[in-house]
Structure 1
Amino acid sequence: MAPVLDEVDVLVIGGDNAGFSSAFQLQSRALVASSWLTLAPKNGTVHHGLADILPIVNNVDKATRSKIDMEPYTATNFADDISRICLGRSDPDLSRTLVNDSNAAVKWLAKHGVRFQLSFNRQAYEINGRFKFWGGMCLKTQDGGKGLIEDHRRAAKKLGVKVLFSTAAKRLVVDPTTKAVSSVIVEDDAGEREILAGAVILAAGGFEANPRMRSQFLGPDWDFAKVRGTPYNIGSCLEMAIRDVSAKQAGNWSGCHSVAWDANAPPDSGDRVISNEFTKSGYPLGLMLNLEGERFVDEGVDIRNYTYAIFGKAILAQPGHAAFQVWDAQMTPWLRSEEYREGIVEKITASSLEEMAEKCAKCGLKNPSKFVETIREYNEAVAVFQEENPGHKWDPAVKDGLSTQSSRKKLTLSKSNWATPLIKGPYVAIKATCGVTFTFGGLAVDHETAGVISSATNSAVPNLYCAGEMLGGLFYDNYPGGSGLTSGAIFGRRAGRAAAAQARNGKNPQDFSARL
């Protein structure tokens, strides 16, 4: 038998947003087994407009406040977006919980010291001297995922939560009489040891950093995707729960969050400092062409919040698993500086489209003539649309209807919004690939308590809970931007409440759901 390392009320496996959210509910006699920083910089939540958000942000002074335009993002808006973006497949109980708890959960995180800011750099454009927020999402955490985890760790220390690092969960131990999880076998530098726990919360992420599981579940070529965040989310805790307690699998196991990512980024993990600067989400302002010189997505089909998590998959499916993003001088001033600043991204600049094609050919473009032809045909379609619709004005903060489709000319693949011609040099291009963020398949849970459901009994496994990316059934094919962070907080909070009730008081966790 393994020697006992510790005995706690609740053991949280995973040191990300969901794990620490669970721990905040536990306070003393809680133990978090952590590893690496996560990538979780933004937040999607129901809000009632600027006045509802201002009390929890730290980057808005009086003068700036007077220049902000922000429409409320209602529960109906959020629910409709989940239904639309997730193809109507999201578990209704999980999605309803996500929507209804989102506003309170964000304010609860702020109460525990998570620093929020208005996301001027990502979710607002300054138009005619006013900051116009768009797409529902308006919040980010200060200093991104790095700052979020720093805030979580500071709060955990204040609450007396103990954190272990470089400690891997190996097995769930089940009491043969009660069938309840009673302890976890872990492994650290000293070897295998046992942690006795009144309850266990699984919050160790998906399998996005495991090339084998990506190929197995997401499909061919997914081992080529680059990992955006932690290299430690390899699905081992998912497999552990399925093996040891017959945890029921749920959700979109062939789906994931993946983005347009810098082709020169590290292959197997993100960067703790640079983090989201490898993201390349400026495609609505220009075009994306594959290595054959052809467009392959409608860059303006929807607000970026609802396309960035699936366009990485689209790039992965292209020849060479790469694409070029291209803009002219009219659009480059609108690109986010942190995604396209000098020193991070390798920019390709040219004074003409022909010169751009030649330079891109040195970076992998296979068909330079087709590249030029595609852009010229696009420019012609945009010009015809503008001739027929002189009243349409470009507006990056709304779906402006500027299109390539008119009565006299239609492209086979349209650009539905923000279609402006690429006619003014200097031109800029960058090479992008697919960056995988997190996977959608996970474990089935009770939405009230986040208790893990057994595939054998179709009821909750005693003393075992789940939150964060390990939770399955919420997102399918795509997700509304920022809602992953919100989900982690909401179900982490519920798991913490239920686990604390079970471990300390021996009460039915359902009795506590009404007080969340």
Structure 2
Amino acid sequence: MRSGRRKAMYHSHRTNEVLHVVSSHSTCLGAHSNTLEHLDMSLDHFDCIVIGSGNAGSCAALAAKDSGCPRVLVVDKCPAEWVGGNGYFTAGAYRTVHDGLHDLLRIVHNVAPNSDLASTIDVDPYSPEDFIGDIMRLGEGKPNPELVKALVEGSRDAVQWLAERVKVPFTFSFNRQAYLVNGRQKFWGGLALSVEDGGKGVIAAHQKALKDAGVEVWFNTTAVELVEENNAVAGVIVTQNGELVTLRAQSVILATGGYEASRELRGKLLGSQWELAKVRGTPYNTGDGLTLARAIGAKLAGDFQGCHSTCWDANAAPDTGDRLLSNQFTKSGYPLGLMLNALGERFVDEGEDFRNYTYAKFGKAILRQPGGHAFQVWDSKVTSWLRKEEYGDDIVRKIWADSIEELAEKLHAEGLEDKETFIRTVKFYNDATHAFQAKYPDKAWDPAVKDGLSTSSLPLPKSNWALTIEEPPFLAVKVACGITFTFGGLAIDPNTASVLSEQGKPVPGLFCTGELVGGLFHHNYPGGSGLTAGAVFGRKAGEEAGKTIVRS
């Protein structure tokens, strides 16, 4: 009982702490509460206003238009050349329930149903139980089960809608989610769908669909306050060209992303070390949605100490993603080799699970290491398996050597503090790998399955895909922590995407989607779930916005 009471007291204290930080951030941003009657404002009317031009906001806007909102407006504080939010920087992966190869062949553009290529593809069905199980397992049982259920049950319809209505060019993700083993393309990790040209292709399809549907999009337009009338949200105050403008609407949909691009909020909510994390995507996700919603009493939800972070190029820019290279700074080849910190020690089980179940948390592990960086290391047996999109000669700085001793010497200039420990760690790993292979000679390396090829004798084992690192030349790259999006956000109704008040009731006229939704992910998440969640809850929000028109 005492332990449970202490835990409840901690969570209550943590919630109050987060509320204080967000409220302070609202003040710092210069919220304009209680000043409506004093402003010289122009007046414009819309049926639905969406704040945010990413995947989630675009889905919401198009769904609102299709659901009976004659005039839909998307506003974004970024300039037009930064359209797309974080969705632009993704690999374009969508995780969805499906019945296997025949089901997905109806969606993808890069494989014909009866082609020779189709006959060489192995992709297992992915059931609702699989999807729910992955989110809850990686989230340590803490994600909101109703939100998870809504995401999973809506995933397949959302993907079909994206393919048919938005014309998103889906493909099989051969280079990212499959390995060619014995002449067959073997997909793994419950994920098979990507998009031609990745996130860039996603956003291009959305922009065309919005334009064709007659949805207006305004850039350089910052939302600073929600307008309330008769206890309902009735519009939003924005800044344009330095002037305050009031935009009226029967519904507002928040799709502003998280707060990962704000060093201040990262430091206050995630911890001071997170100020050193590198922003993977848009620099414009600075917590505005939290500020807007909290100002009218919206409820916060989810893991405000958690985020999606990954292995990121240590030489990438600190505060923004690159619009050209986008997701290519990701460094996800660690299951094929080792990761060692500045002290020359391993700190994660590189073979714990498939990459798309571990990459969103390993960035955090890197950030905790001395200097906030680490080194990924491979030998010549596996370097050809590394994804060229991430490890191409023109993408990442490579450090080659003909011996582990030489590699340690070269890495010393890159921040390796203890060369001797580095050499010893690799030797002990190799010895453990040889011992396991001698004991289990029938086990074969297979990157498309959890092959059980392990270094189980080590205190920190590599549980799968353990090959020795002893055949030159050796390759290393330096990696840091890249932050993608934050997990804490707003509480919503799972069925309508309505924002909930502190009392747990829907705030009339206010909806939320995308990375601003709180409670869906905790600690970690299965890759490809984010874009799908944005589509599922974006559609719900847009459809509900349409219902406000019917009732008026």
1:28-57 deviation per Cα after TM superposition (whole angstroms, max 9, x unaligned):
300001333322321111111111111211
Letter in 1 for 2:550: N
Classify the secondary structure of the residue corresponding to 1:76. Answer: helix
Give runs of aligned pairs for residues 24-43 of structure 1, distance below 5 A: 24-27=62-65, 28-34=70-76, 35=78, 36=82, 37=84, 38=86, 39-40=89-90, 41-43=92-94
1:2 is displaced (CA, Å) by 4.0
1:231-261 deviation per Cα after TM superposition (whole angstroms, max 9, x unaligned):
0000022112102x11100000110000000
1:407-461 deviation per Cα after TM superposition (whole angstroms, max 9, x unaligned):
xxx1111100001100100000000000000000000011111000011x32111
Gapped runs of 5+ residues in structure 2? Answer: 1-38
Residue 466 of structure 1: aligned partner: 512
Pick from 500, 521, 527: which aligns with 1:453? Answer: 500
Pick from 339, 353, 373: which aligns with 1:288? Answer: 339
Pick from 488, 495, 509: which aligns with 1:441? Answer: 488
* Residue 8, structure 1, aligned to residue 54, structure 2: no
Distance 1:6 1:107 in 2: 35
Pick from 227, 245, 253: which aligns with 1:201? Answer: 253
1:190 is displaced (CA, Å) by 4.7
* Residue 301, structure 1, aligned to residue 347, structure 2: no
Residue 534 of structure 2: aligned partner: 488
1:337-358 deviation per Cα after TM superposition (whole angstroms, max 9, x unaligned):
1000001100000010000000
Residue 513 of structure 1: aligned partner: none
Distance 1:64 1:238 in 2: 47
Residue 21 of structure 1: aligned partner: 59
Distance 2:265 2:423 in 1: 39
Distance 1:281 1:2 in 2: 52
How many residue pairs align between the two structures? 498
Letter in 2 for 1:464: L
1:3 is displaced (CA, Å) by 2.1
Instruction: Give the TM-score normalised by structure 2.
Output: 0.89
- 1:376/1:247 CA distance change after superposition, 3 Å: same
1:338-392 deviation per Cα after TM superposition (whole angstroms, max 9, x unaligned):
0000011000000100000001111111011111100000000000000000010
Letter in 2 for 1:257: H
Letter in 2 for 1:194: T
Distance 1:421 1:354 in 2: 16
* Residue 431, structure 1, aligned to residue 431, structure 2: no
Q: Equivalent pairs: percent with the same residue?
A: 53
Q: Which moved more, 1:206-215 or 1:182-191?
A: 182-191
* Residue 123, structure 1, aligned to residue 165, structure 2: no
Letter in 1 for 2:188: W
* Residue 101, structure 1, aligned to residue 154, structure 2: yes
1:173 is displaced (CA, Å) by 1.2
Distance 1:26 1:470 in 2: 19
What value does the CA root-mean-square deviation take over the aligned residues? 1.0
* Residue 67, structure 1, aligned to residue 120, structure 2: yes
* Residue 168, structure 1, aligned to residue 214, structure 2: no
Letter in 1 for 2:96: T
Q: Does the 8 Å contact 1:2/1:185 carry over to 2?
A: no
Residue 232 of structure 1: aligned partner: 284
Residue 374 of structure 1: aligned partner: 425
Give runs of aligned pairs for residues 376-455 of structure 1, distance below 5 A: 376-405=427-456, 410-455=457-502
Letter in 2 for 1:437: T
Runs ≥4 in structure 1, deviation > 4 angstroms?
Answer: none
Residue 202 of structure 2: aligned partner: 148
Classify the secondary structure of the residue corresponding to 1:42. Answer: coil
Residue 264 of structure 1: aligned partner: 315
Distance 2:187 2:345 in 1: 32
1:326 is displaced (CA, Å) by 0.1
Pick from 352, 366, 384: which aligns with 1:333? Answer: 384
Pick from 232, 244, 266: which aligns with 1:214? Answer: 266
Residue 16 of structure 2: aligned partner: none
Distance 1:156 1:365 in 2: 50
* Residue 180, structure 1, aligned to residue 226, structure 2: no
Distance 1:294 1:340 in 2: 23
Distance 1:185 1:458 in 2: 25
Distance 1:480 1:133 in 2: 15
Distance 2:311 2:504 in 1: 39
1:296-332 deviation per Cα after TM superposition (whole angstroms, max 9, x unaligned):
0000011111100000000000000000000000010
Distance 1:73 1:183 in 2: 41
Distance 1:417 1:174 in 2: 55
